């Protein structure tokens, strides 16, 4: 690789990895992507970005393989590291808290330590992907960087631990590490394990004749949903500052799962009429009376966060970051992408 700026992106095969690689290549970086299975990297996600073997490299490495990761970090000596590797699904963290902790906390902390041990802290800056989940259920309060943190599931606990360790190491060693408290961010690349993509895929499946109703949990939880493309821009901006700090990335607007469902089906020309209540509620096509949505208790969570809402004014003031995509544009893009894909 040449003397261009270099970035190491962990978890490169995920949704955020795709957008971040595109952004960094567009800025002329030498990008080194690592993941457990780089064969899963989907080059079509890079869109029209120009890249060649000299600028973009992929490496197979599990983030929990400390020795393997250390070898790579030492050899690459990256200017920037974006730690996006994570077990990021809340229900999976309830089923497998140990693995969630290993990936999201233990491996993240050892990556930070590694930079210090290699004496790279004068040179290498690190973005640590954190989450609005660390704040727990704040009963719809508008969250800022100084809001109390009350994690209420293993996923949130793991993110919280990585946050605590990174701020401590920052104070102790001068390491340039930024925590980004990312609120829900979605796109056509989102995995179907998350509710937004589950909905957009169901709308597309219905449009091509599928008959199975979409089965969902709590329709009335509200999330501050933004577009992943906007959030990776914030990650990059946060590493360009003179001093490291922590930032909320959010839209400042929230919507219910119910609204997401209604808007997604409306994009495909269907209006939903809700009937019944509680577990017996169902969404029907207002014209044809077909049953489109039903409730499945399996998707309810033990400690649900009823609403999230973030205040990103610090990122706006210090990074000049703002979300560009509206809720309506996000839903439309996801649904249209799935309709096109299945056509």
Residues making contact with ligand F7E (CB under 6 A): 88, 90, 131-133, 183-184, 193-196, 198, 216-218, 221, 223, 257, 299, 301, 304
What phi and psi, each to the nearest 5 degrees, are found at residue 8? -105, 125
Q: What angle do the packed helices 228-238 and 15-26 form, to 10 degrees? A: 60
Q: Specify the residue, 59 or 299, whose C-beta has the smaller distance to ligand F7E.
A: 299
Q: Residue 140 region, left (φ>0) first, then alpha (ψ -120 to 50), else beta?
A: left
As a whole number of angstroms, the distance between CA 86 and CA 289 comes to 41
Q: Specify the residue, 76 or 235, whose C-beta has the smaller distance to ligand F7E.
A: 235
As a whole number of angstroms, the distance between CA 142 and CA 315 comes to 15
Q: Specify the residue, 22 or 133, whose C-beta has the smaller distance to ligand F7E.
A: 133
Q: Which helix (H) or strand (E) is 4 found in, with range?
A: none
Q: Specify the residue, 6 or 10, whose C-beta has the smaller distance to ligand F7E.
A: 10
In the complex, minimum distance from the CB of residue 302 to ligand F7E, in angstroms, rounded to a whole number? 10
In the complex, minimum distance from the CB of residue 234 to ligand F7E, in angstroms, rounded to a whole number? 14
In the complex, minimum distance from the CB of residue 167 to ligand F7E, in angstroms, rounded to a whole number? 18
3-state secondary structure of 36: coil
Q: Specify the residue, 185 or 270, whose C-beta has the smaller distance to ligand F7E.
A: 185
In the complex, minimum distance from the CB of residue 131 to ligand F7E, in angstroms, rounded to a whole number? 3
Cα 21 → chain centroid:
14
- The residues with which 80 forms a beta bridge, in sequence order, are 7, 125
In the complex, minimum distance from the CB of residue 206 to ligand F7E, in angstroms, rounded to a whole number? 16
Q: Specify the residue, 47 or 297, whose C-beta has the smaller distance to ligand F7E.
A: 297
DSSP string, 54-106: TTEEEEE--TT-HHHHHHHHHHH--SEEEE------HHHHHH-HHHHHIIIII
In the complex, minimum distance from the CB of residue 221 to ligand F7E, in angstroms, rounded to a whole number? 4
């Amino acid at each position: 690789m040449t003397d261009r700026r270099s970035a190491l992106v962990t978890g490169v095969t995920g949704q955020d990895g795709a957008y971040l690689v595109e952004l960094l290549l567009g800025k002329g970086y030498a990008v080194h992507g690592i993941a457990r299975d780089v064969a899963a990297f989907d080059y079509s996600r890079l869109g029209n970005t120009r890249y060649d073997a000299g600028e973009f490299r992929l490496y197979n490495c599990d983030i929990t393989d400390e020795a393997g990761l250390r070898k790579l970090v030492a050899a690459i000596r990256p200017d920037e590291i974006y730690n996006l590797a994570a077990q990021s699904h809340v229900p999976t963290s309830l089923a497998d808290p140990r693995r969630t902790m290993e990936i999201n906390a233990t491996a993240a902390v050892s990556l930070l330590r590694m930079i210090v041990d290699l004496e790279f802290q004068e040179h290498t800056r690190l973005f640590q992907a954190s989450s609005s989940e660390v704040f727990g259920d704040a009963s719809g309060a508008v969250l800022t960087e100084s809001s109390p943190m009350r994690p209420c599931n293993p996923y949130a606990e793991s993110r919280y631990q990585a946050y605590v360790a990174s701020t401590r190491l920052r104070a102790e060693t001068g390491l340039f590490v930024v925590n980004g408290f990312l609120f829900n961010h979605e796109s056509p690349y989102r995995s179907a394990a998350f509710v937004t993509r589950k909905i957009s895929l169901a709308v597309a499946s219905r449009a091509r004749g599928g008959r199975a109703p979409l089965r969902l949990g709590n329709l009335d939880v509200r999330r501050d949903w933004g577009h992943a493309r906007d959030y990776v821009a914030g990650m990059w901006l946060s590493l360009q500052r003179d001093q490291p700090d922590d930032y909320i990335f959010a839209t400042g607007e929230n919507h219910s799962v119910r609204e997401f469902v209604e808007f997604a089906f409306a994009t495909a020309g269907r209006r939903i009429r809700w009937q019944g209540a509680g577990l017996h509620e169902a969404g029907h096509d207002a014209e044809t009376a077909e049953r489109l949505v039903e409730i499945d208790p399996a998707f309810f969570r033990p400690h649900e966060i009823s609403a999230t809402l973030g205040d990103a004014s610090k990122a706006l003031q210090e990074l000049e970051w703002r979300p560009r995509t509206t809720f309506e544009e996000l839903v439309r893009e996801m649904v249209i992408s799935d309709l096109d894909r299945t056509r």
